[in-house]
Amino acid sequence: MSNTSNEILFKKFEIIECFKKDEHTGVYLANHIYLSKKIILKVLNTKTIPDPVIIDRFKREAKLLAKLNHPNIINVLDFGTDKDFFYISFEYFQGTSLRAIMKKNKLRHDQKIFMLMQILKGIDCAHRNGIIHRDIKPENIFINEKNELKIGDFGLAFDTSDNFITSQHSVVGTPCYMSPEQISGEKITEQSDLFSIGIVVFELLTGRNPFLGSDINETINNIISFEEKSLKQEISGMPADVSALLQMLLKKKPAQRIISAREALSVLHIEVDDNSNAYITRNKLIMAGILILIASTIVTMMVLTKKEQNIIENKSIYTTQKIDTVDSQENRNSIKFDSLNKPAENSQAVAAEPSYEAKNIPNQKTGLQQEPIKFGSLYVECFPWADVIIDSEMKETTPLSEDIKLSEGKHMLTLYNPVYPAYNKEISVIADELLSIRINMDTLFGYVNFNVFPWGEIYLDNKFIGQTPFLQPYKLSPGEYRTIIKNPSFQTKETRIIVLRNDTLTVTYNFEGK
């Protein structure tokens, strides 16, 4: 397969544009010849793929999405095989991510509530079909110019009726949008998705993620130890139904959390007609407001000039399907934990680029083009390896297959390897420029020499680390430690030491000295 436009793949997909391609995968904008419509085509080369688990995940994603047909979910059109290739075709949705929209901070409250309704509707459909998403976050939610919303990227989802490779007890997802039980490796249920939705809605309404910390460990601790009362104070000024819903979504214990997306919709006075798949509001005032809005829109459109209409019709195009690259790890867009503080292997590889193409966005009121989002690039070289996390979102694992595309401005970079201290640094990305960072993870440690005569048992923060003499300096994360040196023939020595990054501290103690 090549990048040539108008190439025909699998005898039915006419390639319009190649979004991403390497030796294992390809993602394309294509014309489905038989359906006569644009689609997103994802292709996997099973012959070159290094890990068969990735093939199983690819097929599983297609199987799960094929079960769902809902206006608020990115739908699968078809999938199949051709010689050594698997492929999935998705609907082409012209929208941008909720993350990009939230950064602009120009949404009215009613628009935000309308988005919340659509998120709940889409998840309600998934849950009623036994599918739990497990990675609800703004980057996986897409919205077009009409404020129509679709949930995408079911790569981490699982079917509650099946036993998949990644079990419902595995800890995968994006840390700052995980539920407490997800972080702790406990059983995941529909209510876990609802907690994640609560975080997204809280951020949508207040402008901040309540659990986002300076690094992954702080984020995890924030989720596990948060106080519901403090969140309640922040949302107390919101409309009563929204405030009540957020409190029910963000309950720490699943048993106390709202039980379903459908019940969440009822809190907002919305009921579901199962036969028509319609969501009907019981609040007549809301319905009246909608009718007035529709009427005013019609009147406005009637008085638009031909020139204004032409401007409005000149819409920008966004691509919303995630662009995947593949290596021996299972997932680079999420982090998988085998304990509260130690990441295990990742569960799916995804691209380091945003999942949409940033172009000029027409202003809905004036029809004039706004300034496009500008991007620069980041290259990270790390020894021996590290997960590259930008603004608490997993992007890639070194060695990078290509530069990471980032919006212009400041970002928080974290490099994470479970056997090393985390590297945290605020970086500034300049449009059309490449920022290169090279790190040896060994330099993130501090080192301590313990010279104890005649010998001693060493405890750091009440943890036994060994008996002197040590063959080499002891590696520690930078920080302050309570140090205890014990020898049963002498009085115990207690002191405090401060370990600095890439520095060696020598602690000398003679039990027989004065």
pLDDT along the chain (514 residues), means of 10: 64 87 84 88 84 73 82 87 87 89 88 94 94 92 92 83 49 77 88 96 93 87 89 85 93 93 90 49 43 48 45 37 35 39 37 38 53 88 88 86 90 86 88 90 88 92 90 86 93 90 87 75
Catalytic residue among 145, 148, 308, 357: 145
Alpha-carbon gap, residue 111 to 164, rounded angstroms: 37
Dihedral over alpha carbons 362, 368, 373, 374 (to 10 degrees): 150
Report how far apart, in Å, the C-alpha atoms of 157 and of each of 64, 154, 176 are: 8, 5, 18
* 3-state class (DSSP) for residue 157: coil
Looking at residue 370, its pLDDT comes to 62
**Cβ distance 270 to 260 under 8 Å?**
no
Tell me the residue type at 498: I
Question: DSSP letter at 262?
Answer: H
Report how far apart, in Å, the C-alpha atoms of 66 and of each of 11, 29, 63, 131, 159 are: 21, 20, 5, 11, 12
**Cβ distance 43 to 1 under 8 Å?**
yes
Alpha-carbon gap, residue 197 to 98, rounded angstroms: 13
The residues, ordered by sequence, that sit 6+ positions from 347 with a Cβ below 8 Å of its Cβ are: 57, 156, 166, 170, 172, 329, 330, 331, 334, 336
Alpha-carbon gap, residue 488 to 240, rounded angstroms: 64
The verdict on whether 145 is a catalytic residue reads yes
Report how far apart, in Å, the C-alpha atoms of 411 and of each of 176, 196, 282, 407 are: 16, 23, 43, 9
Looking at residue 71, its pLDDT comes to 92
- Name which of 258, 248, 250 is nearest 200 in CA terms: 250
Burial class (CB in 10 A: 0-12, 13-18, 19+), 449: middle
Looking at residue 60, its pLDDT comes to 74
Which domains does the chain possess? 8-91 (3.30.200.20), 96-312 (1.10.510.10), 321-354+374-444 (2.60.40), 445-510 (2.60.40)
Q: What is the CA radius of gyration of the chain?
A: 26
Looking at residue 156, its pLDDT comes to 80
- Name which of 300, 268, 264, 293 is nearest 281 in CA terms: 268
With a threshold of 0.85, does the pTM exceed it?
no
**Cβ distance 177 to 137 under 8 Å?**
yes
Looking at residue 514, its pLDDT comes to 52
Find where tokens 């990048």 sit.
3
Report how far apart, in Å, the C-alpha atoms of 430 and of each of 104, 169, 402, 410, 423 are: 19, 41, 18, 9, 21
Report how far apart, in Å, the C-alpha atoms of 156 and of each of 31, 75, 115 are: 27, 16, 22
* 3-state class (DSSP) for residue 442: helix
Alpha-carbon gap, residue 511 to 514, rounded angstroms: 8
Q: Which two tokens stand for residue 256?
A: 């106390």
**Alpha helices, DSSP H only, in 216-328?**
216-225, 228-235, 240-249, 261-267, 284-302, 306-313
Q: Which two tokens stand for residue 322?
A: 């995630």
Alpha-carbon gap, residue 187 to 198, rounded angstroms: 19
**Residue 425, strand partner residues:** 413
Dihedral over alpha carbons 375, 381, 382, 388 (to 10 degrees): 20
- Name which of 220, 204, 175 is nearest 99 in CA terms: 204
Looking at residue 146, its pLDDT comes to 87
Query: CA end-to-end span of the chain, whole Å?
Result: 78
Alpha-carbon gap, residue 487 to 14, rounded angstroms: 77
Looking at residue 338, its pLDDT comes to 40
The region that residue 154 occupies, defined by phi over 0 for left and psi between -120 and 50 for alpha, beta otherwise, is alpha
Tell me the residue type at 123: I
* 3-state class (DSSP) for residue 101: helix
- Percent of residues in the chain assigned helix, strand, coil, to nearest 5: 25, 30, 45
Alpha-carbon gap, residue 491 to 488, rounded angstroms: 8
Q: Which two tokens stand for residue 379?
A: 């290259």
